[in-house]
Amino acid sequence: MSFHEKISSLIEAKRDVSIALSDAIWAVPELHFQEKKSVQYMKAALEKEGFATELGIAGLDTALVGTYGSGKPVIAFLGEYDALPGLSQKGGATQCEPLEDSGNGHGCGHNLLGTGAFAAAVAVKDYLEQNNQSATIRFYGCPAEENGSGKAYMAKAGIFDDADIAISWHPGTFSTVMTCNSLANYAVTFKFTGKSAHAAAAPHLGRSALDAVELMNVGVNYLREHVVPEARVHYAVTNSGGTSPNVVQPYAEVTYLVRAPKKQQVQEIYKRVENIAKGATLMTETSLEIDFEGSASNLIPNKTLYNIMNKQLLEIGMPNYTIEDEQHAQTIFNTFSPEVQATALLGLKKDDVVQLKDKVIANHIPSVLPEFIMGGSTDVGDVSWNVPTVQCTTVCMALGTPLHTWQVVSQGVMPIAHKGMLQAAKVMACTAVDLIDNPALIEEAKKEWKERLDGETYVSLIPEGTKPPKL
């Protein structure tokens, strides 16, 4: 029996445990740095499997490390379990059906992500025990990937420094290895304070904080023409100062997220955004307070590792999908606009498009794509600056499903999601075993990692003196 078959058997033997854990986390969707129940579920599951656990690492109340074994190599599995606001949704429903008005929901599948990494760590632990091998297996429970970038705090605290390899994954619409870089980002909230006044009787006595927010936004919108094309600048007015138009708003807030391919570019663009905010205070005679919200470094890909992971994926293959799986996926696919449906196969090579044409579940493993810069960000980037890192995606939802939507939440407790989660666990665990059995591969991955960094050392984007958020 090959190690792929052994790992698959170990994961299948505990599939009910993994599914129950994922569904339990799905049922208690918690926002960034508030994952109190989710982390306790994960902690209990790790301890039941014989992992020694430590909660509250790097000063984060909901960050966790579970450790098994000793010695080299040290293999890190990265798990997440935070949800998103406003995406409450009934599981399995094929229309938008919130369980709670304005409630939270796992709209990016992190209930699956954390559990899949847990299942992989447990399988490698069981495999080492059966084969009388030694290594250190760690599960990192990482809070606040969506907002706040928990891994950035963990990386700054040196939590990953002694790991040899980091392995993770993300739920998606294809089963493939991730060959992409990501955008570094920096998130801040600008808080403007002015003076209230009667907007009709004494407008000259008021100093509008909302005017400052609006002027800042206009200024940043003019800035967009003068930054690198790959940069992204988003904002949300998080406090407009009130609901009465006859009152000059004395307080208003706007949160900005600045993204760019390199950390230095992010820092440069942010400084220009900050200057625009200061200019808005001069124009409105208001004052300004700036609060840091989070940051993430760009991701450092590793061809050595993603080629190794792709071999495991091809060996494991795709799950089997039932008629019920197909029917449910078709109903979900039908909820997308024609524009969204048209993007379902975007970016794939021609042969893969032919294989998946007219499908609603991607039951074919596409070719490995050339390296590219994706439009989003992830705090896995901070990990990748400290240790060679590899990730895959697996099919957990219908083709074309956009992340951060009610459709993701709905599918997160369906068989398609569970099958994808267990497929990811098998691929990650087999990747770890292949590396443990072949130490030269680890050294090759480290050599490439150093070459890609080209002498540049990790510098966190988190401002000095910033304390981790508390519950």
Provide the CATH number for the domain around residue 288. 3.30.70.360
Banded model confidence at residue 184, pLDDT cuts 50, 70, 90: very high
Which of 250, 280, 296 represents a domain boundary (last residue)?
296
Banded model confidence at residue 317, pLDDT cuts 50, 70, 90: very high
Which of 296, 326, 361 represents a domain boundary (last residue)?
296
Task: Indicate if 176 and 32 belong to the same structural domain.
Answer: yes
Task: Indicate if 17 and 152 belong to the same structural domain.
Answer: yes
Distance of alpha carbon 144 from alpha carbon 142, whole angstroms: 7
Q: What is the mean pLDDT of residues 354-366?
A: 96
Task: Indicate if 97 and 196 belong to the same structural domain.
Answer: no
Assigned domain for 271 exists = yes
Task: Indicate if 34 and 136 belong to the same structural domain.
Answer: yes
User: DSSP states of 389-410 as a string?
Assistant: EEEEEEE-S-TTPPSSSHHHHH
Assigned domain for 430 exists = yes
First to last CA, the chain: 48
pLDDT at 470: 82
Count of C-beta atoms within a 10 Å radius of residue 351: 11
* Polymer length in residues for the chain: 471
Query: What is the overall mean pLDDT for the chain?
Result: 97
Residue 289 has pLDDT above 80, yes or no: yes
Assigned domain for 105 exists = yes
Q: What's the CATH code of the domain at 89?
A: 3.40.630.10
Task: Indicate if 72 and 157 belong to the same structural domain.
Answer: yes
By DSSP bridging, strand 74-80 and strand 165-172 are parallel
DSSP state of 228: -
Domain ranges, residue 278? 184-296
Poorest-pLDDT segment among 135-144, 272-281, 366-375: 366-375
Q: Decide: pTM greater than 0.75.
A: yes
Which of 247, 278, 296 represents a domain boundary (last residue)?
296
Task: Indicate if 165 and 235 belong to the same structural domain.
Answer: no
Are 281 and 212 within 8 A, CB to CB?
A: yes
pLDDT at 375: 85
Q: How many domains does the chain have?
A: 2
Count of C-beta atoms within a 10 Å radius of residue 74: 19
Assigned domain for 467 exists = no
Residue 471 has pLDDT above 80, yes or no: no
DSSP state of 346: T
The tally of CA atoms less than 13 A away on the side-chain side of residue 32 is: 16
Q: What is the mean pLDDT of residues 6-25?
A: 98
Residue 379 has pLDDT above 90, yes or no: yes
Assigned domain for 470 exists = no
What are the C-alpha distances in Å from 250 to residues 190, 244, 451? Answer: 14, 12, 52
Banded model confidence at residue 407, pLDDT cuts 50, 70, 90: very high
Banded model confidence at residue 312, pLDDT cuts 50, 70, 90: very high
Residue 33 has pLDDT above 80, yes or no: yes
Distance of alpha carbon 81 from alpha carbon 65, whole angstroms: 14
Task: Indicate if 279 and 188 belong to the same structural domain.
Answer: yes
Task: Indicate if 212 and 254 belong to the same structural domain.
Answer: yes
Q: What is the mean pLDDT of residues 412-421?
A: 98
Task: Indicate if 438 and 364 belong to the same structural domain.
Answer: yes
The CA dihedral of 145, 57, 30, 16, to the nearest 10 degrees, is: 90
Q: What is the mean pLDDT of residues 369-383?
A: 93
Task: Indicate if 222 and 239 belong to the same structural domain.
Answer: yes
Residue 429 has pLDDT above 80, yes or no: yes
Q: What is the mean pLDDT of residues 172-201?
A: 96
Task: Indicate if 177 and 321 belong to the same structural domain.
Answer: yes
pLDDT at 313: 98
Assigned domain for 108 exists = yes
Assigned domain for 448 exists = yes
Query: Which residues contact residue 320 at a Cβ distance below 8 angstroms, ignoring those fewer than 6 apart?
Result: none
Between 415-437 and 323-333, two packed helices, what is the crossing angle to 10 degrees?
110
User: DSSP states of 325-345 as a string?
Assistant: HHHHHHHHHTTS-HHHHTTTT
Residue 32 has pLDDT above 80, yes or no: yes
Assigned domain for 468 exists = no
Task: Indicate if 23 and 161 belong to the same structural domain.
Answer: yes
Residue 131 has pLDDT above 90, yes or no: yes
Residue 56 has pLDDT above 80, yes or no: yes
